[in-house]
Structure 1
C-alpha cells in the first residue's frame, strides 16, 4: 500500500494535471512523479516542491496527518524580472492557471 503516492495522485488528478504537468510545476521529471505515485521511489528531496505545486502541506502529503492546506505563505505575490521574456518564463513555470489569471488581469486593465 502506497498511501503517500495515492495522495499525490489524487491531488494531481483533482487538478486535472498529467504527471508531466506536476513534474514541471514541482521542478522534477515525470518519471519521478510516476515513481513516487507508484511507490517505486521513496525520495523525499522532491516532496517539498511537489507539495508546493499541489498546494498542500508537506506533512499532510508525507503522513496524511495535520492540515491539508499549508499555512498562509509569506512569499511576495509578485515576480521580479529584467525583461518581458523573463516574466513570461516565470509565469509559464507557474502553470496554465496562473497564466490565465494574468491574461484575465491584463484584459481588464485599462490602457
Structure 2
C-alpha cells in the first residue's frame, strides 16, 4: 500500500464493504469514497469520519505512519487540516469562545 487511497480501499475491502457501505457509515457520499480511494480528492476534512467508520487511526490512514489501531477513546476530538489556514478556518467556525480558548492555550505553551 502506497497512498491514503490504497489504505482506505484495503480497509474497506478487508471488511467486505462496498463503497456505498463505507459512505453510509462515514456519512459521506459514495462519490467521495471513490474520489478518496482513487486519490482524486486530497481533502482531509472527512478523513476523521472515514477513519472512525473503518475503526483505524486517522493519522495512519492519512500518512501510513504510526499505529493502525485507533487510540483509546477520549473526550478530546481530533482536528484534521491540510494547513494552518485550515485550522484557523475550522476554529473560527466554532465561535469566539473556542477561538479565545485556543489563543489562551497557545500563549501558555512553553517554547
Whether these two folds match at TM > 0.5 is yes
TM bucket normalised to smaller? 0.5 to 0.7
In structure 2, distance between residues paired with 1:26 and 1:3: 20
State the match for 1:84 in structure 2: none
Q: CA RMSD in A?
A: 1.6
What secondary structure is seen at the aligned counterpart in 1 of 2:48?
helix
State the match for 1:67 in structure 2: 67
**Residues 1:2 and 1:42: Cα distance change in structure 2 (over 3 Å):** farther
TM-score scaled by length of structure 1: 0.64
Segments of structure 2 that go 5 or more residues without pairing to the other structure are 76-111
Segments of structure 1 that go 5 or more residues without pairing to the other structure are 76-111
TM-score scaled by length of structure 2: 0.64
Are positions 1:25 and 2:19 aligned together? no
Work out whether residues 2 and 39 of structure 1, in 8 Å CA contact, stay in contact via their aligned partners in 2: no
